[in-house]
Each structure stands twice: as structure tokens, then as C-alpha cells.
Structure 1
Amino acid sequence: MAVHAHPDDESSKGAATTARYAAEGVEVLVVTCTGGERGDVLNPSYAVPEGHSFDTLEAKRAVRRLEMAAAAQALGVQQHWLGFVDSGLPEGDPLPPLPDDAFALVPLEEAAAPLVEAVRRFRPHVITTYDPSGGYPHPDHIYTHTVTAEAWEAAGDASRYVVDGGAEPWTPLKLYYNHGFSVERLRTVHEAMLGAGLESPFGDWISSRTAREIPERPVTTKVPVAEFFARRDAALTAHASQIDPAGFFFAVPRDVEADVWPWEEYELAESRVETSIPEDDLFAGIRGTEVAR
């Protein structure tokens, strides 16, 4: 189960991993907390699909559901909406208040309840989500971490989140944080592009992160996924309102990426099974054991 804040996050964070496991026959469910209703059009070549508009929250939600369905098909995964409303990314100094209907303002037990139920019904062995910073300071990403941590703790506890007709408690075994853009990855790809005589998009980014002394979280697990980059890219471009096919995500030639960085990175945050670090499989310690059945 991969828990994400908005439609498109599942395609930019861990997408090749979900595609790989789905192709191997693992049941994979992407859970999307919000409808992405407050996202702007980020693709300059985007054209709203016929019969749709992008003028209201409801209209944006409908478009982004179409995009999410196409992305899930590209990855070969199942997908489930929690049904909360995008908080938007506040900007300014001081920051404006969040909208009253924002996901990030929903009380924790109310926000976590549908995710707890989803965990109990889907019964995942492994859950992936964001670290406590959210990966970047969007309120929905930070709250997605909080809500997922609550579900990780509560889903197996029969005394918590008790509802009539609800699923039986289920205890997941491993919780991971996505790591999409570690400095090590950026520097490795940057140097490979320069070595190939190509212009790299990462130079300023590496310098700014180093200058700001942003702490690097530990990477415990590198999952080999190069043969699934094409599915990841297809899922990205399915989010046509958000992803520019001539933009940042496609700046690195895939043969260069596959040669120098054929993995997706994760941090094992918590485990209820024994495993050895470093790992190359999210199911390390689970495969071939009784708990996998």
C-alpha cells in the first residue's frame, strides 16, 4: 500500500517500484488522500479534455480523477480515494490560513479512520508514505505522514477505530518512507550527465541544498527498477495537467539514469519482522515466511 497526498504523487515517488511489484504479481494499492482540487495547471501545453473544465474545485477533481485512473492503469496498480479536499500550498509572508475544508485541518481520528479501514480491508504487508517533513513542506504531505503513522499503529488494534460492519483488524509488517531526491542521487546523475557532455538540471539544486545544510535522511533500501522506468514515465504523463512532458522529470536520458541510478530509494521507518540493512526489496524479511501467507 502506497499512501500519497494528491493524484500525481504516486507517479513521481516510488512509481517504478509499485509497477515492478504489480508486474511480479504482488497486489498493490495506491491510496490517495485528496482529490488534488487546488492544484494549478503546471503543463504549459495542457488542453482540458473535451466536456470538462478546470475552473472550479469540482471540475478540477473530475479531471484529476480521469488522470489518476490512467496513471493507475499505466502502473498496473489498484487505487483508492480517501475523499478529502486538497489543502492547497499556502504562499506569502505571513502564510495565509488554510481553507476551512482543507485535509490538513481535519481532526486526526476523522482523517485516519478511512485509512485504517482501507488497511484492514486491503491487508498490506508493507506500507510506504512520506517522512515526517512530508518530503517538502506542503501541508497535505506532512499530514499524510501523520495520518499514515496513525493507521500503522491503530489498524491492528481491535479496540481502536471500531465501526459497525468494519473490517477485522490487520497489522502491517513494514513501514517505509519514500526518498526521491537524495543528494547522492542528484550528484551521481549530475556528474554522469556532465560526463556525457549533457546539460544537467541539478547543479543549482545540489548547491542550494548543500548551502542550506538540509539534513539527509538515511536510505536503508534501494529497489532495482530500471526496467519499469517506462511505466513510471507513462504514469507521469497521464497527469497531463500537472506534468510537462518537456519538463524537469524528463530532463535525464533514461539510458543514463538506468546506468548510474537504476533504483528507487526508501527508508525503513519501522519493522515488525527481522531484516538486514541494507535491503534491495521492500519484502525482505517477509518473503518465504509464514507472515507472508
Structure 2
Amino acid sequence: MAEPTAGPTPVREQGPERLRLLAVHAHPDDESSKGAATTARYAAEGVDVLVATCTGGERGDILNPSFGQGPQDVEGMRALRREEMAAAARALGVRQQWIGFVDSGLPEGDPLPPLPEGSFGLVPLEEAAAPLVELVREFRPHVVTTYDPSGGYPHPDHVMCHRVAYEAFHAAGDPERYRRDGGAAPWSPLKLYYNHDFSMNRIRTLHEAMQGAGLESPFGDWVESRSAREIPEREVTTRVEVARYYPQRDAALVAHASQIDPEGFFFAIPRDLEAQVWPFEEYELAESRVPTELPEDDLFAGVRELVATGSGSAA
């Protein structure tokens, strides 16, 4: 069951309409490793960017070896990760809203153990999607981003995050669905995108650039592994130029100090090399309710004109 959302409550804009982007993520830190430079760019350009975080990340482990022991209980970890999330949002220049579900963790073993009772991955879809539908109706985003149907990788919370974002994108504009007394009016976002930050094309490109520069690549085992070759390459429709916002992305990553090692994987590529060979973040346009021509270089392609004329929703 979702807890009441915390953080600032989105409000309706007054005066000239402002572009709005909703990025839906599974855990705190996902917003800093997936599409972070894009949200930093749009926020800097005046877009109202809101990150929706489905779970509190309370079952996450301490992944930064230099962090220390950290909290030993769920409540302590939840509080720590809320502090880290607030710092990351400040680094990106975005707003953030908790959806309120409990992290499923990542059970491992053979046979695979069940998910913990009450965790996000086990919540019925309509119950899990309801608070996000209401958030869409309150915030009224023109564009929504989330993960592809695989979750980007097979974490149960990432798969569920896709499911609830997909459901909210389709249901929020229907007045007959998710009806709630006193709730916000229906709103239909105009475009839905899937993040592609961990595509094998990106990994191979960075790996080869490191080798070409005579540097040790952190991706060697990944590129050569059988599991990597089995990762399907999804269609890329949209590349957003974001290299100048890599510092904001990196600051947001570092803000998640319990999870991100500043000497680790995410920082192994020299930033000047990354900006040279991969100066963008990639997306897959899953659905659009406005005409647009592919490929794109802007998540708001086809939307800006409608908003400028006061027709910002397909509702």
C-alpha cells in the first residue's frame, strides 16, 4: 500500500504554459544514472522537471566501499536515501516526488526466493499505478520518461516501474478510470519515452574509445560476456545533446553516497573522452500523440508548437 506522497506538491502553472517533463524511476539513484543529464539540461532551459520515485530504496545495500557501515535497519536506510535523493535533485535542478512504495530488493539464489511481502513488485497493478495516475493529473506533464518493458535490467521494481508508468500514461486522461473524489482533472501526456542509458551500443562505443586511447576499460568483461550478447538492442529514435550537463549528472551520482563509489564504475571514463564520443543520451519514443519526425534531438519535438498555441494536452 502506498504511503502518502512526500515532498513538494506539484501545482498548476499560472500565466503562459510551461513545458513539463515527468521522469518515472524505481529507486533513488536511478534518476542520476538514467537520463540525468537530460533532466538537468531541460531544467536549466526552464522546463518544469519532476522526478517520480516509486520506492524508497530501503532494501538497498551499501555499495560504496568508502561509505562505512551505514544503517542496519529499513527505516534508517529509508531516511538516508531520502537525504541523498534531496541532494541529487538539487544537483540536477529538478523537483522530486515519492510515490511511496517499498523497495522489493533483489532476491538471488537457485531456486529464486520470493519477493518480500508488501514490496512494490508484488502490488497489484491498479493499486500501484493509482498514485502515479493522480500525480500525472496534478503535474500535467507533456512528456513522460521511464524504462522499457524489460525494466532496462530484470530488477522486479524496474519492471513494475515500467508497468505503472505505461498504465498512468494511458489511464490519466480517461475520466472513467482511477476516479477519486476531489482528485485532479484528467490529463493525457503527449509523448512517452524509454531510457536507453545502458545500451550495449553505448557500452561498446565507450569501451573501444578507452582502448583506442590506451586506457584500461571497465567494460571489458561486460562486452565479452555471453549475457551481454543476449541483451536485445532496442530502437533508438531520439538523441538529446547533453555533454555540457555531465557535471550536474556526476554531482547527482555522488550525492547518492551510500550507493555510488566516486572511484568506481560510473567515473571510470574520462569525461572529455565521453563528451567526444558519446555527447548525448538516447531514448526510444514508445508513443506519441503529436506528429513528429524521426530521428529526433528533442523530447519536446512536436510538443513545443502545441504548448505555444495553448493546446498542451491530448485530453
Report the TM-score when normalising by structure 2: 0.89
Percent sequence identity over aligned pairs: 74
1:72 aligns with 2:89: yes
Q: How does 1:175-214 map to 2 (within 5 A)?
A: 175-208=192-225, 212-214=229-231
Please state how far the C-alpha of 1:276 moved relative to its aligned partner: 0.7
Q: Residues 116-265 of structure 1 correspond to what in structure 2 (within 5 A)? A: 116-208=133-225, 212-265=229-282
For these two proteins, the number of residue pairs brought into alignment is: 289
The code of the aligned residue for 1:57 comes to V
Deviation at 1:210, TM superposition (A): 7.2
* SS at structure 1 position matched to 2:54: strand
Q: How far apart are the structure 1 equivalents of 2:228 and 2:117?
A: 37
| Deviations 1:96-142 (CA, angstroms, capped at 9, x unpaired) | 11111111111111110000000000000000000000011100000
Amino acid corresponding to residue 42 of structure 1 in structure 2: L
Deviates more, 1:203-212 or 1:228-237: 203-212
Moved more, 184-193 or 252-261: 184-193
What is the CA–CA distance in structure 2 between the aligned matches of 1:69 and 1:140, rounded to whole Å? 21
1:31 equivalent among 52, 56, 59:
52
1:270 to 287, 296, 299: 287
**Inter-partner Cα distance in structure 2 for 1:60 and 1:193:** 36
1:55 maps to 72
CA separation in 2, counterparts of 1:12 and 1:211? Answer: 19
Question: CA-atom RMSD, angstroms?
Answer: 1.3
Give the aligned residue type for 2:65: P
Which whole-Å CA distance do the structure 1 matches of 2:228 and 2:66 have between them? 34
| Separation in 1, partners of 2:33, 2:228 | 25
- The alpha-carbon deviation at position 213 of structure 1 amounts to 2.9
Point out the more displaced range, 206-215 or 37-46. Answer: 206-215
| Rounded Cα–Cα distance in structure 1 between residues aligned with 2:259 and 2:230 | 29
Q: Report what 2:67 is aligned to.
A: 46
Structure 2: give runs of 5+ residues left out of the alignment.
1-21
- CA deviation map 1:134-181 (0-9, x unaligned): 011100000000111110110000011111110000000000000012
Structure 2 residue 120 is matched with structure 1 residue 99: no
Matched, 1:110 2:127: yes
2-side partners of 1:95 and 1:213: how far apart?
Answer: 21
Runs of 4+, deviation exceeding 4 Å: none
The secondary structure found in structure 1 opposite 2:152 is coil
Match in the other structure for 1:8: 29
Tell me the distance in 1 between the aligned counterparts of 2:28 and 2:225.
28
Larger deviation, residues 244-253 vs 203-212: 203-212
1:288 CA drift (Å): 2.3
SS of the aligned residue for 1:176 comes to strand
Write the distance in 2 (CA, Å) between the matches of 1:154 and 1:209.
39
Q: 1:72 to 1:211 in 2, by over 3 A?
A: closer
Q: For 2:227 and 2:84, how far apart are their aligned partners in 1?
A: 35
What residue identity is the alignment partner of 2:256?
H
CA distance in 1, matches of 2:270, 2:229: 28
Deviation string, structure 1 residues 71-94 (Cα, Å, up to 9, x no partner): 000000000001100000010011
- Choose which of 21, 32, 40 in structure 2 pairs with 1:19: 40
